[in-house]
Structure 1
Amino acid sequence: MKNTIKNSKKGILMVIMFTTMLSFANNASLFNIKNEAKRTSLTLLNVKQGNLLSVKDVNGIVLYKESMQKSGNYTKGFDLTALPDGSYVFELDKDMEINTIPFTVKSNIVLFDKEKETTIYKPMFVVKDNVVMLTKLALKEAPCHIKIYFLGDHGEELMHAETVENTKTITKAYKLAGLKYGGYKIVCNSDGREFTKAINI
């Protein structure tokens, strides 16, 4: 029980620090877009090596994908006018968040809507002494559906399910001691995304 309390305190401290960092980040733009007749220049600020940039259509189909080769600022030109008329999104998948930049193409004209830019915060999982701490920012109070599965010889067995909502900061601790020994999978569905964490005890 003491370990659970200690982990809870650590998780709350991580969320507080993470929220403070985000408050500074939200005051500065993470990217710049220069839209010309035939070329859109995208500049992403402070990317890290391994961050993933992609262009997706309205159905989530990936049309372009690139992994950042170095940390720092990233600039690249795209000819988006070649795309069929429709809605698209630039998506930057980072360590702790996913930034989306939506745009539309109509009659070879590319339009960006700054009001529809979004940031989805990924859940953080910390495992220690058979206790799993899950923390997630949900600044728009989007519900988070959490399921824990035991991975046995006969497939997945649901051990726990719950929905957390009406909160900007989700902090949950799950004690796996006393349950079956083996592999577990925690699934967190929120903001139209699914995040998973594999655990062995």
Structure 2
Amino acid sequence: MKKVIKKSIALIIMFTTLLGYANESKVMTSKKEYKKTSLTLNGVKEGQKLVIKDQNGLTLYKELIKESGTYYKGFDLTSLPDGKYYFELDKDFEIKTIPFKVKSNSVVFEKEEEVSVFKPIIRVKDNRILISKLSLELKPTEIKFYEMTSEGAKLVHSESIENTKIIERIYRIAEKYKSTYKIVIKSEGREFVEYINI
């Protein structure tokens, strides 16, 4: 009788354990897990910004990268309405755009449309403003200087540059024109704004 009771208890424990594993694997393979799209980005740095935007540029999701190295995360993008979207990784000197589209609850990445836009680098040395910009696609770049006055921003210089891969400009500001300047650089569908004091 004791053997029968021991065998019954062992069987009950075994079935309970099996049911526990069955429930656990059910959670792991739920429909929600299948819907997740994983994004892996190599060479990220702490403090960089990752966003998801729709085709109108509206930000739907925003996150600051917490650790340098490889970023890996799953997103349920199938809940988005049908349309075009993109991930945007804002790095120190570059903005990388990773487009995807959602159609009938499926997500397709458009690898051939991935682009990187390089940010302008603006430095001040003595009375000079140094601007560097990389444009691999030879897109037109517009540079505008505004002097900030009590009446508002006053345009003091405007320049358009075309068919140039590496843009390097040095602007000298005379001593008597020391002020606060707003520099606006438009290139590749982006606008970069920086304020400097000379």
Q: Which of residues 44, 47, 53 is equivalent to 2:44?
A: 47
In structure 2, relative to structure 1, the CA distance for the partners of 1:179 and 1:62 (3 Å cut) is farther
Query: Greater share of helix residues, 1 or 2?
Result: 2
Match in the other structure for 1:190: 187
Moved over 4 A (4+): none
Match in the other structure for 2:131: 134
CA contact (8 A) 2:127 2:175 kept: no
TM-score of the aligned structures, taking structure 2 as reference length: 0.82
Which structure would you say has the larger Rg?
A: 2
Gapped regions of structure 1 (runs ≥ 5): 1-35
Match in the other structure for 1:176: 173
Q: Secondary structure at the match of 1:115?
A: helix
Q: Which of residues 26, 38, 54 is equivalent to 2:35?
A: 38
Letter in 1 for 2:97: T
Gapped regions of structure 2 (runs ≥ 5): 1-32
Match in the other structure for 1:81: 78
CA contact (8 A) 2:40 2:70 kept: yes
Counterpart CA distance in 2 for 1:182 and 1:132 is 12
More RCO (CA 8 Å, sep 6+): 1
Letter in 1 for 2:51: S
Aligned residues: 166
Q: What's the Cα RMSD here? A: 1.1
Counterpart CA distance in 1 for 2:146 and 2:178 is 12
Counterpart CA distance in 1 for 2:170 and 2:154 is 20
Within a 5 Å distance, the mapping from 1:84-95 to structure 2 comes to 84-95=81-92
